[in-house]
Structure 1
Amino acid sequence: MSTGKRLFRYAALYKKTLIAALLMLTVAVGAELTGPFIAKKMIDDHILGIEKTWYETEKGEQTAAYKDSYYKREDYFKPGEEKGEEVHILQVQRDYYFIPGELQFDGERRAEGNTVTISKGEQSESYQGTKLSSKELFAFYEPEIGGLLTLIFIYFGLLVFASFFHYGQRYFLQVTSNRIIQKMRQDVFAHIQRLPVVYFDNLPAGKVVARITNDTEAIRELFVAVLSTFFTSAIYITGIFVALFLLDVKLALICMVILPILAVWSVVYRKYASDYNHKIRSLVSDINGMINESIQGMTIIQAFRRQEETKAEFEEMNDSHFHYQNKLLSLNSLLSHNMVGFMRNCAFVALIWYFGGASIGVGSMVSIGVLYAFVDYLNRLFQPITGIVNQFAQLETARVSAERVFTLLDEKGIDVSEKKEPRYKGDVTFEHVSFGYKEGEYVLKNIDFQAKQGETVALVGHTGSGKSSIMNLLFRFYDCKEGKIMIDGKDIMSMPRQTVREHMGIVLQDPFLFTGTIAANVSLNNPAISREQVEKALTDVGADKLLKHLPLGFDEPVIEKGSTLSSGQRQLISFARALAFDPAILILDEATASIDTETEAVIQEALEVLKKGRTTFIIAHRLSTIKNADQILVLDRGEIAERGSHDELMKQKGKYYQMYELQQGKQNSLAG
């Protein structure tokens, strides 16, 4: 499905308010576009209407007094009303003349004294008249004042009416746009929760953040500014062309040449702007990713004095962003105001050519009011065109941003299952499991072991031997390529991922804490875990001893990643979290590696309580912490090299024995 159709589907979710906004916009534009027609009527019927034929009559409504007689315009006579002597008011340059009698024709005028001569081709007629004073002329204009004031008030009323509808359409369009983006951000963020862990292995967090924030904000501008401008402009242009056709069909057809030019223009612009915008949005994501990484690693950057190198790397990306922004700016400058100005000038040249010569002037078929209205509409026509052109850049930015957002939404996610399973016993079996992160490169080979309920299984081995990979498979962060993993005799591949993890808990070497309170980090705001359970879990792992000095105790705020807490405090909170959720299977991934000896003693005591009735997997480098494990698996290059209890492995004097003796030797030398 195209990007445009998908954006339309989002807009269709709020079609009622969107349609209401567009209807209000149509009414407002229609009210505004009556202006030139009202101006035309004011000019032709009231201001220039003085040159229509007048007849002598009795004093009454809409009559003008002149030299003890009263005169009324022919269009103000009622059917059957008696008419007197015919007279005319003619304008010659800046003067007006009262001409009694009938005119043979109208044409070019000139005056000598009180004699007015009218010429048309070879014909010429002279008429004896009287030059009107300002007061006398005003008498003939006086009947028009009421009509002029009425039209002025009508136009003012229409403008006020239009302003209310403009406000309404703007409000509804803004509300609709915000709702669309709110829905889109919810969908994107919810979809991120469904994506497998492997998706995030190769995508920096900053790039994901850019799609949820920057790209969706660009799409919001599409609905707020671009959609509003395009619909407003389309309605304006349609209304203006309808008005132009009502005024003069031939010139309206000439002006319609603008529409195909505009269409070709947009195609050319999109061809070049799309490439630039793709590059710019990609660079924005890269910059976000680098900033995010730099902030997280600021301690290392400063410790190793890499500030200048980091700054140089940022400047390189920033310069690239500046380069492509300038290219886009040049394109916008070339195809925006310059092009609109050129088209406007061409239109006015056509107007002058069409109305030139004999087409305009006294006796012409085109009135001054029509000319004024045409010029007004032509001016108004280029306002929406300018609006459309100015929004091309925003349109392309939004379109590219939408493509990036929809690409993320198109990533295959994992449906969240609401299915609940009773707490399983915790028997875990790996049957000939092989796995690799890359095709053909196995990091686990033929892993085969069984962990019974309540047992503690320790995984040891050098870095990269596959210890964490086994846990990743058990949690179904990844799925094995060969073999199968079973819990209580049931293949985990036949179970939804959420169900597999429902009764499992994990404690990492570097625990992750969320912004909130200590208590909230233990319960993760799960309503099923009460405050009493939270406090009991913290007390059971000995956290109360290390956290009691905090001003707010267990309600002490935790900022990002718990940076204000010590590593021991963070680890204790992570242990309490695992205990509060009461898992059937517990994984401790180097959980005590970064803990000091005193804190480790506290945790070891808590672990004995925590492990009761649970199947526990411990990944450990410090072998002294796993001496009491029921089963120790020694991994080497993805294979199980040795297995057994601590005493059994020590008797074998193999790899485990060498590792243990090496660690003990180091400890003894350090103690000495």
Structure 2
Amino acid sequence: MKTGRRLTSYALNYKKIILVALFLLTISVGTDLAGPFIAKNIIDQHILGIESVWNETTNGKSTAEYQGEFYKKEKNFSDNEEKGKEIRILQVGTKFVFMDEKLEFDGKRTFEQGILTVQKGDEKVNYNAKVLTNKELMAFYKLEIPGIIKLLIVYFGLLVISAIFQYGQKFLLQKSANRIIQKMREDVFGQIQRLPIQYFDNLPAGKVVARITNDTEAIRELYVTVLAQFFTSAIYITGIYAALFILDVKLAAICLLLLPILYGWIILYRKFASKYNRVIRSRNSDINATINESICGMSIIQAFRREKETETEFEKLNTEHFTYQNKLLSLNALTSHNLVGVLRNLVFVAFIWYFGGLSLNPASVISLGVLYAFVDYINRLFNPVQGIVNQLANLESALVAGERVFSLMDEQGEKVSTKRIERFCGNVTFDHVSFGYKEGEYVLNDINFEAKQGQTVALVGHTGSGKSSIMNLLFRFYDCQKGKIFIDGMDIINIPRQTVRNHMGIVLQDPYLFTGTIVSNVSLGDPSISREMVEKALKDVGVDRVFKNLENGYDEPVIEKGSTLSSGQRQLISFARALAFNPAILILDEATSSIDTETEAVIQEAMDVLKKGRTTFIIAHRLSTIRNADQILVLDRGKIVERGSHEELMLLKGKYYQMYELQKGNASLAG
């Protein structure tokens, strides 16, 4: 499905709000566009209405007195009312003159020595006329004041209605846009939870963050500003063209040429803007990734004096981002205002040419009110056109952002299962398992072993031998390419990943703590784990002996990654976290490798109690910590080369013996 359709499908989730907003927008536009028609009537019927045909009558309603006689506009006579002598009041320069003759035609007017001359082309007619004083003129004009006031009240009322409905439509459109983005962000974040671990192996965290925040914010701009502007402009343009066709069909038809020109320009603009925006958003993600990586590794950067090199790498990305931003800026500068200015001038040229031609035809009379309405509507026409052109950059940015967001959402993921099964007994079997992170490159080959309930199984070997990969498969962070893994006789491939992990606990070599407190980091917000359970888990791992002087006790604040705590303190919290969930299978992945000897002794004491009734897997470099393991698996290049208890392996005098003696010798030298 194309990006535009998918963005539309999101909007349709809130179609009721959007339709109400568009209805309010239509009313707002209709009331706003009625203004020029009212102004036309004020000019033609009232301000210039004094030049209408007047007839002599008796004193009464809507009559004006002049030199003892009463006059009324011809249009104000009823059907059965008798009309008297026809008179006209005409403006000549700054003067108004009274003539009691019928005007044969209108044209250029001159007045001299009581004679009014009207000339149209080669035709010329003279009339006897008198100049009206201000008082005499006001006798005729005061009849128009009630009508002008009435129309002005209507005009003001329409403006108020337009403003109210304009507020309503903007509020509803922005409300719907915020809801759309809220749902989209929830969907994207939910998709991240469904993605397998290997997806994040090749995608920096900063790039994922950019798609959830920056890209969705660009899409929000699409709904809040771009589409609102496009909807508003479309309705305004439709209303203005309807008004123009009512006023004059031919000129309105000429103005229709704007639409294909505007459409063609949009197509041409998007061709270049789309390319620039793709690069801009891609570099923006790269910048986020670089910043995230730099902050996380700042201690290493400063320790190895790599500040200048890191800054150079950042500047390279930032310069490329700046370059394409400038290209897009140049494209916008060359198009938006310039395009609209050219189109506006072309329309006014057509306007002048058209009305200039009409003025040469004696049979064609165009009122000043119609001219005013046309100029007003044409000026108004270019406001929505300007709005559309100005929003093209945001449109392209949003569409490119949409492509990036939807590409993430299209990644193959798995539904997060809430299914729960009874607690495992803890019997684990690896049946001839082979696995590789890349296709055809196996890091585990024919792994075959069994761990019974309550046993402790230790995995040892040099770096890269496959120890952690075995645990990744057991936790279903990855799935094996060959063989099967069973827990209590159940093939884990047939159990949802979340369900498999429900009765497992893990302590990593580098524990991750979240922003919160010690308590929240142990319970992870799980309502089934009470405060009492958290405190018991903390005490069981001997936290009291390490956290002696905490001001807030177990409610001590923990910032991101627990950077204010020592590695031993973080590890103890991570250990308590695993125990609080009461796992049937406990995995300790190099859990004591970065801990001081005193803290390690605390954990070792707790482990003797905690291992009872649990199947425990220990990945350890310190072989002295696994002497009591029920089974030790020695791995080398992805294969199990030795297996047995500590005593059995020492009698073999093989690889395990060599590793143990080497560590023992190093420990003696260190002592």
Q: TM-score range by the shorter chain?
A: over 0.9
- Give the match for residue 453 of structure 2: 453
Secondary structure, aligned partner of 2:392:
helix
Is residue 2:164 matched to residue 1:160?
A: no
Equivalence for 1:336: 336
CA contact (8 A) 1:643 1:649 kept: yes
2:637 is matched with: 637
Q: Which residue of 2 aligns with 1:648?
A: 648
- Superposed, 1:551-570 pairs within 5 Å as 551-570=551-570
Q: Which amino acid letter does the alignment assign opposite residue 331 of structure 1?
A: L
SS in structure 1 at match of 2:273: helix
Residue 123 of structure 1: how far off its partner (Å):
3.4
Q: Tell me which residue corresponds to 1:53.
A: 53
Q: C-alpha displacement at 1:18, in angstroms? A: 1.1
Residue in structure 2 matched with residue 478 of structure 1 by the alignment: 478
Counterpart-to-counterpart distance in 2, 1:521 and 1:612: 24
Unaligned runs of 5+ in 2: none
Aligned partners of 1:479 and 1:122: how far apart in 2?
98
Summarize the Cα distance change of 1:78–1:360 in structure 2 as closer, same or farther, 3 Å threshold: farther
Partners of 2:103 and 2:331 lie apart in 1 by 60
* Residue 495 of structure 1, CA deviation: 1.1
1:75 matched to 2:114? The reply is no
Once the two structures are superposed, the pairs formed by residues 387-536 of structure 1 within 5 Å of their partners are 387-536=387-536
2:391 alignment partner, SS class: helix
Q: Distance in 1 between matches of 2:523 and 2:248?
A: 75
Q: 1:27 maps to which residue?
A: 27
Q: Bigger CA drift: 62-71 or 589-598?
A: 62-71
Q: Is the 8 A contact 1:360 1:366 kept in 2?
A: no
What does 1:211-290 align with in structure 2 at a 5 Å threshold? 211-290=211-290
Are 2:13 and 1:13 equivalent residues in the alignment? yes
Cross-structure match for 1:305: 305
Q: Is the 8 A contact 2:358 2:365 kept in 1?
A: no
Alpha-carbon displacement from aligned partner over 1:175-217 (angstroms, at most 9, x marks no partner)? 1111111111111111101100000000000000000000111
Distance in 1, Cα, partners of 2:120 & 2:490: 106
Q: Specify every segment of 5 or more residues in structure 1 that has no aligned partner in the other structure, as ranges.
A: none
**Which residue number in structure 2 is paired with residue 210 of structure 1?**
210
Shift of 1:105: 2.8
Q: Give how far 1:108 is off.
A: 2.8
User: Does 1:39 pair with 2:44?
Assistant: no
SS at match of 2:414: coil
Instruction: Output the TM-score relative to the length of structure 1.
Output: 0.98
| Stretch moving more, 661-670 or 416-425 | 416-425
Q: What is the match of residue 615 of structure 1?
A: 615
User: Which residue number corresponds to residue 129 of structure 2?
Assistant: 129
Larger mean CA deviation between 360-369 and 500-509 belongs to 360-369
Could you tell which deviates more after superposition, 77-86 or 615-624?
Answer: 77-86
Conserved 8 A contact 1:195-1:414:
yes
1:606 is matched with 606
AA in 1 matched with 2:216: T
CA-CA distance at 1:5 after TM superposition = 1.2
- Matched-pair contact (CA < 8 Å) for 1:428–1:486: yes
Say which SS state the counterpart of residue 447 (structure 1) adopts: strand
**Distance in structure 2 (CA, Å) of the matches to 1:329 and 1:558:** 44
Q: Distance in 2 between matches of 1:60 and 1:546?
A: 106
TM-score, normalised with respect to structure 2:
0.99
CA distance in 2, matches of 1:653, 1:276: 66
Q: Deviations over 1:553-611 (max 9, x none)?
A: 11111110111111111111111111110111111000000110001000001111111
Q: Secondary structure at the match of 2:143?
A: helix
Check conservation: 2:120, 2:362, Cα contact below 8 A. no
For the residue of structure 1 that corresponds to 2:98, the secondary structure is strand
Q: Distance in 2 between matches of 1:519 and 1:360?
A: 90
Q: Percent identity?
A: 68
User: Structure 2: how far apart are the matches of 1:582 and 1:106?
Assistant: 101
Quote the Cα distance in structure 2 between the aligned partners of 1:463 and 1:603. 24
For 1:379, the equivalent position in structure 2 comes to: 379
1:4-47: CA deviation from partner (whole Å, max 9, x where unpaired): 11111111111111111111111011100001100111111111
| Other structure's SS at 1:356 match | helix
Q: Secondary structure at the match of 1:34?
A: helix
Native 8 Å contact 1:107 1:363 kept in 2: no
1:248 shift after superposition: 0.5
Write out per-residue CA displacement over residues 484-515 of structure 1, whole angstroms, 9 at most, x where no aligned residue.
11111111111111111111110001101111
> Which letter maps to 1:77?
F
Please say if residues 207 and 289 of structure 1, whose CA atoms lie closer than 8 Å, have aligned partners that are also in contact: yes
Figure out how many residues of one structure are paired with residues of the other and give that number: 671
Q: CA deviation at 1:135?
A: 2.0
Shifted more, 338-347 versus 416-425: the winner is 416-425
User: How far off is 1:362 after superposition?
Assistant: 8.1
- Show the counterpart of 2:109: 109
Distance in 1 (alpha carbons) for counterparts of 2:68 and 2:447: 122
SS in 1 for 2:464: coil
Shift of 1:363: 6.7
CA 1:408 to 1:358, structure 2 compared with 1: closer, same or farther past 3 Å? closer
113-122 or 243-252: bigger deviation: 113-122
| 1:148 aligns to 2:148 (yes or no) | yes
State the 1:397 CA deviation: 0.5
**Conservation of the 8 A alpha-carbon contact between 2:508 and 2:590:** yes
Distance in 2 separating the partners of 1:78 and 1:361? 33
Partners of 1:123 and 1:313 in 2: CA distance: 83
SS at match of 1:420: coil
Shift of 1:122: 4.0
C-alpha displacement at 1:113, in angstroms?
Answer: 1.4
Would the aligned equivalents of 2:430 and 2:450 in 1 still touch at CA under 8 Å?
yes
Q: 1:124 to 1:360 in 2, by over 3 A?
A: closer
Amino acid in structure 1 at the alignment position of 2:510: D
Q: Judge which range, 131-140 or 524-533, deviates more.
A: 131-140
Letter in 1 for 2:544: D
Q: Could you tell me how far apart the structure 2 residues matched to 1:534 and 1:419 are?
A: 24
DSSP 3-state at the match of 1:291: helix
| Cα displacement (A) at 1:358 | 4.4
CA RMSD of aligned residues (A): 1.2
Equivalence for 1:193 = 193
Moved more, 111-120 or 479-488: 111-120
Distance 2:358 2:576 in 1: 95
Distance in 2 of aligned mates of 1:666 and 1:70: 127
**Partner amino acid for 1:229?**
Q
Query: What is the CA-CA distance between 1:418 and the residue it aligns to?
Result: 2.1
Shift of 1:94: 2.4
CA contact (8 A) 1:108 1:362 kept: no
Q: What residue in structure 1 maps to residue 4 of structure 2?
A: 4
Give the distance between the partners of 1:33 and 1:61, measured in 2 at CA. Answer: 33
After TM superposition, give the deviation of residue 364 of structure 1 in Å: 3.7
**Structure 1 moving runs of 4+ over 3 Å:** 120-123, 360-364
Alignment partners' CA distance in 2, 1:307 and 1:124? 91
Distance 2:287 2:331 in 1: 24
Q: Counterpart of 2:379 in 1: which secondary structure?
A: helix
Q: Could you give the per-residue CA deviations for residues 616-656 of structure 1, whole angstroms, max 9, x where no partner exists?
A: 11000000000000111110000111111111111111111
Q: Is the 8 A contact 1:106 1:363 kept in 2?
A: no
State the shift of 1:101 in Å.
Answer: 2.4
Q: Which secondary structure does the structure 1 equivalent of 2:48 belong to?
A: helix
Equivalent-residue separation in structure 1 for 2:465 and 2:319 (angstroms): 43
